[in-house]
Amino acid sequence: MAVILSARRTAVLPRGGAFARLRIEDLAAPVVRAVLADAGLGAVQVDELIAANALGAGGNPARRVALAAGLPERVAGLTIDRQCVGGLDAILLAAALVDSGAARVVVAGGVESYSRRPLRLATDPDGGAPVAYDQPPFTPWADRDPDMTQAAAALAVSLGISRPAQDDWAVESHRKALVDHDWPEIVALGGVSRDAFARRLTPALAARAKVLAGNVTAATAAVAADAAAFVVVTRDDLARPGALRIGPGLTLGSAPEEPGLAPVPAIAAVLARAGLLPDKLAQVEMMEAYAAQAIACVEGAGLDPARVNLRGGALARGHPIGASGAILAVRLFHDLTNGHGLAAIAAAGGLGTAVLFSR
């Protein structure tokens, strides 16, 4: 069985912050070097590097990261784009390579620079001027391909998740994130060693937040952000004390018009494969792209809210799309002392990834 030997990340900074001038490889390479040092491995021992990236517009960013990190030129680098779930999927791919015997050591995770993302233009086949766009299509059907914030608002309405309930979730996320800033998982970069967005959010402040859609507000939606997160995956017979076992885990597709609920069937399937009930989970890292989405998944999967996002979630740090799933795994690596931990995340197009980790 594949295991994680080490796991690190950068701080998560909102778009336009201290990481705004950094390229993808500038964010990721220091983290790659740090996880290899933590694992006691040399660059020459790495067989592959897998990086999730959603906004880089191609060019195989994983190859750039591998070269910038000083890995051997034979390490080709594999970039995947499954949007928000990509960081966790990169780790699942690494585990599959190791379990199959195709590789012994794989560095896997994700990196995103929202600040440096390229502008996107759709060409006009009739020769008209190109049209700028932000969200690419995730289905062939416009009526089943909602804007993500609109989808979160619709989810809140359909499940009766009130604005005060979303505000309370966001306030608690920030409160937990501010309890302890001594996080060894973070690689200091440019002098920044803590997440910058967490703040003393109060119910009164949340109530005054700008409405984005329906009852979803700027306080209950994660901000666009820059960050990188990576782990070292290898075989369990090469592991040392403290390694984190990976699996089972999988990605499932569901109704694309309800992307926020996509992790629920994935969580159920993963727990069934492991023969576990939700109350046997010691810790859960649930992605908080929106408070409504997090609440819906926690309730839909029957999870104990007291065990979810123990040190805050993405509402208190931000959402670097390709890195967000990997950050969940990094948090579990450093926080899960014993038993089973679950990481789960949703993505546009109706994708949900859930992975069980154990120590």
Catalytic residue set: 84, 319
Judged by DSSP in three states, 302 sits in coil
The CA distances from residue 162 to 169, 221, 286, 294, 318, in Å, are 11, 14, 20, 13, 22
Find, among 295, 329, 291, the residue nearest to 88 by Cα.
Answer: 329
The CA distances from residue 61 to 7, 75, 87, 107, 112, in Å, are 20, 13, 14, 14, 10
Q: Which residue has the tokens 């001594």?
A: 182
Q: Dihedrals φ, ψ of 227, to 5°?
A: -175, 170
Long-range contacts for 248-251 (Cβ within 8 Å, ≥24 apart)? 248/273, 248/274, 248/355, 248/356, 249/88, 249/91, 249/92, 249/95, 249/353, 249/354, 249/355, 249/356, 250/92, 250/353, 250/354, 251/82, 251/85, 251/88, 251/89, 251/92, 251/351, 251/352, 251/353
